[in-house]
Amino acid sequence: MRCPLCHVLIAATLLCNVLLLYYTWHLNSRPAGRQSPSPTLSPGITVIVREFRTFEHGLADLNHSFLRARPNLRILIASEALPYPPVPGLNILRIHPSPEQPVSAFRLESQIHTRLVALVPDGTSLNPPDLLDKMARALRDAPSAVRIVAAGAGPVLQCLHLNVSLRTWTAEYTVVSAGETCGAVSGSAVLLMRSRDLFDLPFPLARPVQSTIFIQAALRGWGVKVLKEATFPRTPLPATDHGKWKAEQADRAEEAATMRALNIRLVRGLEGGDRWYGCSKETQRCFGTVVGETPEYLYEGRWTPPCCLRALRITLLHVVKVLEASNVRYWLEGGSLLGAARHKDLIPWDYDVDIGIYLEDITLCPELRGAQGGSLVDSDGFVWERAVEGDFFRVQYSQTNHLHVDLWPFYPRDGVMTRDSWTGHPQDIEFSESFLQPLQTLPFAGAVVQAPNNHVELLKLKFGDRAIEEPQYPNPALLKMNRR
Ligand SMILES: *[C@@H]1O[C@H](CO)[C@@H](O)[C@H](O)[C@H]1NC(C)=O
Ligand SMILES: *[C@@H]1O[C@H](CO)[C@@H](O)[C@H](O)[C@H]1NC(C)=O
């Protein structure tokens, strides 16, 4: 070729290409946070053992049984601590970060390279040898909403429906009718799912593994398919009495910690009845000082934690019992009366209970007399005190837990119920004494309590004409209810 310019052009083009290639390679190889493409996953199944106790386990037997049946499985033991005494030769996935290690060491993505994962509880054997393959086929053939296949590990599984409501901090299990998809199972199970789905869960391996996965699955609308044909043989571990006892203690503590982390405060429908997490007389109220009548949980789209509602009901019923025993005339006030009119209970986002009393009746009640001078803890642990914010009384659930009932003393003046100090809330107004003559009773919070007569009229006066039918948050100027 007799064209020096052509040579230069060809050389320049080649150089450009090389530069471009280098540039794109450089871009791709840079860690780009969320955008970095996840590595391709190979066919096969990684077995993850998370449910075991380091002090008494059958990991060597499990390893042996699974690898004998399927030699190319990879078995990962997921644990915050090493099994003790140590079992050499197991693959350990440390799940708690450690300050000297790179963060990738604790990422599931860097440890799991197969498309499928099986979560297997300790004590399980792989028999028949093709059971995991069966589960994989069931997952492949299932409708796309099914993201988890469960097979019994020991007993036969029961299929359950799981309803998780973050707004009411509640997970509720119910038995499903035949033909419905399950959202959870009861009984020890092997769970098989796609690795990518597991990576998508913010709490992939928190204990208890099964219910934690089901709760997250329920929030994503994932179904669970139960493999009916076969179950894995399993010897529950630990097997010794001491080991069992230790494991049960740890189970309870871990379950409570995980449910709190998931923002679940009440689990219903499992054996043993309702399970409450948090909010006792010994724990602090689970929300801070309320500003602008709008508690912090409302901004997060949640209503009052159910344990707080329960504590409020208990405190109210205690106060009512004491007032009735001393013949103090009292009635439901404000938001509590509104809740009674709407659904015979506290408004589900309310944070306290309001009661009106006759000022002159205070002397009839030893607890109120005691509270006038300061504060008094009664024999049931409730705290009676004069409120610091104004001329009213407050009864707290306990000395530690400040959930409370407020008691507002009114007196009649020319047939009108009035007070010397007001909260400034629009509903806090004078009203005719005729609403209290006579008092009536209304069902409320699981009991029957006293209330103004003609309460619907009184509520219209206090809250406006449509307040009963059209619920609104306490301070719509700050936060409006989102009606969907
Ligand atoms: C796991 O099982 C395989 C197959 O039985 C065996 O060769 C290996 O030594 C076992 N590893 C451990 C740590 O038990
Ligand atoms: C699930 O919970 C919601 C809200 O608490 C309720 O409205 C719904 O009826 C529940 N569904 C089932 C099947 O329990």
Split the chain (484 residues) into runs of 10 and give each run's mean pLDDT: 59 57 52 52 94 95 96 94 87 89 87 96 96 97 97 93 96 88 95 98 97 98 93 96 97 96 95 88 85 90 94 97 98 96 96 96 96 92 92 96 96 96 86 97 97 97 91 87 66
Q: Which residue has the tokens 């007196």?
A: 411
Do 42-232 and 304-463 show the same overall fold? no
Ligand 2 atom at minimal distance to the Cα of residue 170: 5
For residues 476 and 292, the answer to whether their CB atoms sit within 8 Å is no
Which amino acid residue places its CA nearest to atom 13 of ligand 2? 163
The domain limits of the chain are 42-232, 304-463
Structural element, H or E, at residue 443: strand 440-444
Q: What confidence score (pLDDT) does residue 36 get?
A: 47
Q: For 85-109, how does the pLDDT look when each residue is reduced to its tens digit (9 = 90+)? A: 888 999 999 888 889 988 888 889 9
Which of the ligands is closest to the CA of residue 167?
Answer: 2
Q: Which amino acids bring their CB within 6 angstroms of ligand 2?
A: 161, 163, 165, 168, 174
> Three-class SS of residue 86?
coil
CATH of domain 42-232: 3.90.550.60
| Mutation probe of ligand 2 site: the residue of 163, 268, 304 with most atoms within 8 A of C-beta | 163
Q: What confidence score (pLDDT) does residue 332 get?
A: 98
Second CATH level (architecture) for the domain 304-463: 2-Layer Sandwich (3.30)
Round to whole Å and give the CA distance between 415 and 400: 41
Q: Is 423 exposed, middle or buried (0-12, 13-18, 19+ CB in 10 A)?
A: middle
The alpha carbon of 296 and the centre of ligand 2 are apart by a number of angstroms equal to 24
